[in-house]
Structure 1
């Protein structure tokens, strides 16, 4: 894991250029102490962040840096001076984007903040290897609904899925090999109690949770459709998956409007199929998820199709072999009678 941080930093512009990191916590990708000219955003101030992270003795509070902007309401770009709109070279959010109630509004803000050649770096959990395994996968309609509702707090649906369908593998909420979880995290009685409490709590307070659940192809499909529906002009540049339980997404302001054609239609369909195959953790049938993969998407569907064709041909050949063996058996019987 010590190689993770240098790799993420290598995907960003020069550290001397101004940038933004949202939710760096105690482990910033762009630490000010390392010379990064970065402004940080969190939902609490510095002391509140230290108090929150200090509840877990495993957190190293030495990594906590001064919070520059406290985000409790409104849109992300409203925290910054209008003079700086269009002047930030990167926005970073590691394991943050899936928590945001309205991700389309977040993308709108990023469009306002970034330079034309700036980048948005997201690190996202892969649902197949986390406690989100049993939750339904996010689709573009979910994101559109949250945006049209101007959602600022998580829905009852998201809360229900959190309390009733969070799952563990033994005692772990994330794992690095293809496997099935072994149990729910909470009993039904515990889940029901927390859900009932949430319905009252959410009226006055924000309660944090995963609102969005993706695999790499599902995320790419969502971004393509958001562009086509004119909900964002942030476009995909690259997806990487160095380790199984998270994937890295690089996005950028679109240089031109995405044009729908037959090639893109086929890509949407292929990504839809991949999303279903990935959804049930079936990708290991044609991808070795134990091996680090820079980009697990391109060509996988075609390799899967070739594998299925080979399997079908082999099944057909075995049928012919059985017929031939049957003919030889009859021939031997006839020879013996003579």
Structure 2
């Protein structure tokens, strides 16, 4: 996931939006068609002068500023009676003098369904590393004081305790290397006390880890100071985490104790390992502890009845594709199922719930495999077994036939999808596929989704001329994303929709049922296919 692309994908060009502190790196660009007002601490001309000599800044990215932020209400930027649908603040919150006042201003300016998007640095991965996290009490003090200037303490701490890791001022999860401290006490003292107190001086006044921030936001809502609640959260990618707030949202779903304990653990985990405690779980035994081993990397949520926090996608546990498969086959009772690419075992659980006698699931991604084992334990999937490895290697050594093979989200990750289809046809008479495809009708020339196609290769197969559309190689940004779900190969090949159906027919599948066609899927056209051999279907029911 790219946080900025994620935010942009939820904002239509015509919807009224506001961005705080866009500076030289706006998320919502006016020039890209967004209907956005920009609020910043200085005018566009002042920002251009400020960064004119910085070789790391492209001042052409600075767009016109609609209002200088003086703490006033934001409705002055709108026609009377209108409200913003979206407010975006990237790396702004930690600079605020009074966070509660900011949240209240945003709340008053948002429509009833409007959303506030906050991108916030986590102290574990920035120059704030040596600073303690802020508390709700400190936030309340700033609100009661009506603070409009940063205090001596915040100004001193940022200058005196500025941290580095391997010489970098920001880093991300998994970084290795020694810590350093760039700040010095005298510099902190001079920063705090040596300048005109009437002049605003900027700093990171607030310091958070992901869970400490969630706890503060939850408590402010419980106290009635804000009505905005957490509707989406994603743990750190790089140095930052993302929270989306909306009026009436239920919040994190975790109680204060769980969040406080997790915040404490986040501080302990990233103390450089000096205490050795990072290898041990300090909390009392609880199912959530196992999920937290891979916190921030989960794709799907778990069933609400479990009361556990994982990913954000709820559709995987009540997936219309698996329900359709079971309904079309009249149930899965008594079938042994081979599943390829179970990801987090949500489909595995659904297959068992639909009546499958057993499921053998093969997963090549090590992290996904471990997540499957965690879900198997938490959800009691006694009739599921998971193997770690490449399923093509499995087919090379295991000739068993299966009453049903489920291959959801794997074909378009293959370097040679025809090879996989032949292997599947040799081992089952009933095959379920969900896959992306190339479809000229749904994705004509000029469609931006075609930018992912690096080239077209002609392939001869059983006397027919077919084409592979070789995908642009997965980039480092994708592979570093903790929820990236790519396959084993660097540059997979996509098949054309009609060619895929023809190949299935040539492999003997003469009963093809198609559902869930998504010609406008953001990643490319997609569909579900239930492929059966008619004679086999008649004899097996």
The answer to whether TM tops 0.5 is yes
The CA distance in 2 between the partners of 1:188 and 1:180, in whole Å, is 24
1:54 to partner: Cα distance:
2.1
Structure 1 contact 84–113 (Cα < 8 Å) conserved: no
The CA distance in 2 between the partners of 1:125 and 1:77, in whole Å, is 25
Q: Paired residue for 1:54, among 52, 55, 73? A: 52
Q: Deviations 1:234-279 (Å, cap 9, x if unpaired)?
A: 11111113614110111011268x8xxxx97x71101000000002
Question: Deviation above 4 Å: which 4+ runs of structure 1?
Answer: 178-181, 282-286, 291-297
The CA distance in 2 between the partners of 1:107 and 1:214, in whole Å, is 17
Q: Paired residue for 1:278, among 266, 270, 279? A: 266
State whether structure 2 residue 153 is matched by structure 1 residue 154: no
State whether structure 2 residue 202 is matched by structure 1 residue 204: no
Structure 2 counterpart SS, 1:30: coil
Question: In structure 2, what is the equivalent of residue 24 of structure 1?
Answer: 22
Structure 2 contact 152–193 (Cα < 8 Å) conserved: no
The CA distance in 2 between the partners of 1:144 and 1:108, in whole Å, is 13
Structure 2 contact 130–163 (Cα < 8 Å) conserved: yes
Structure 2 counterpart SS, 1:224: helix
How is 1:259-270 mapped onto 2 (pairs within 5 angstroms)? 267-270=255-258
Structure 1 counterpart SS, 2:105: helix
Q: Deviations 1:134-159 (Å, cap 9, x if unpaired)?
A: 11101111111000000011111111
Unaligned runs of 5+ in 1: 308-338
CA RMSD of aligned residues (A): 3.1
Structure 2 contact 19–39 (Cα < 8 Å) conserved: yes
State whether structure 2 residue 309 is matched by structure 1 residue 298: yes
The CA distance in 2 between the partners of 1:272 and 1:154, in whole Å, is 26
State whether structure 2 residue 155 is matched by structure 1 residue 171: no
Structure 1 contact 75–105 (Cα < 8 Å) conserved: no
Q: Paired residue for 1:140, among 136, 147, 151? A: 136
Question: In structure 1, what is the equivalent of residue 243 of structure 2?
Answer: 249
Structure 1 contact 69–79 (Cα < 8 Å) conserved: no
Structure 1 contact 243–292 (Cα < 8 Å) conserved: no
Question: In structure 2, what is the equivalent of residue 215 of structure 1?
Answer: 209
The CA distance in 2 between the partners of 1:207 and 1:33, in whole Å, is 31
1:164 to partner: Cα distance:
1.5
Question: In structure 2, what is the equivalent of residue 75 of structure 1?
Answer: 72
Structure 1 contact 42–70 (Cα < 8 Å) conserved: yes
1:171 to partner: Cα distance:
2.2
State whether structure 2 residue 99 is matched by structure 1 residue 99: no
Moved more, 53-62 or 94-103: 53-62
Q: Paired residue for 1:191, among 172, 175, 188? A: 188
Structure 1 contact 178–281 (Cα < 8 Å) conserved: no
1:189 to partner: Cα distance:
3.1
1:45 to partner: Cα distance:
0.8
1:293–1:185 distance in 2 versus 1, CA, 3 Å: farther
Structure 1 contact 221–271 (Cα < 8 Å) conserved: yes
Structure 1 contact 168–184 (Cα < 8 Å) conserved: yes
Structure 2 contact 20–89 (Cα < 8 Å) conserved: yes
1:122–1:243 distance in 2 versus 1, CA, 3 Å: same
The structure with the greater share of residues assigned to strand is 2
Structure 2 counterpart SS, 1:161: helix
Q: Deviations 1:284-303 (Å, cap 9, x if unpaired)?
A: 756358x8566999259xx9
Question: In structure 1, what is the equivalent of residue 105 of structure 2?
Answer: 109
The CA distance in 2 between the partners of 1:208 and 1:153, in whole Å, is 9
Task: Give the number of the structure with larger relative contact order, counting CA–CA contacts within 8 Å between residues 6 or more apart.
Answer: 1
Q: Paired residue for 2:229, among 226, 235, 249? A: 235
Unaligned runs of 5+ in 2: 272-277, 280-291, 302-307, 312-369, 375-541
The structure with the greater share of residues assigned to helix is 1
1:81–1:17 distance in 2 versus 1, CA, 3 Å: closer
1:174 to partner: Cα distance:
0.6
Q: TM-score, normalised by structure 1?
A: 0.77
The CA distance in 1 between the partners of 2:221 and 2:177, in whole Å, is 34
Number of positions where the alignment pairs a residue of Structure 1 with one of Structure 2? 290
Question: In structure 2, what is the equivalent of residue 287 of structure 1?
Answer: 293
Question: In structure 2, what is the equivalent of residue 320 of structure 1?
Answer: none
The CA distance in 1 between the partners of 2:79 and 2:108, in whole Å, is 9
1:231 to partner: Cα distance:
1.1
Structure 2 counterpart SS, 1:13: coil
Moved more, 169-178 or 131-140: 169-178
Question: In structure 2, what is the equivalent of residue 319 of structure 1?
Answer: none
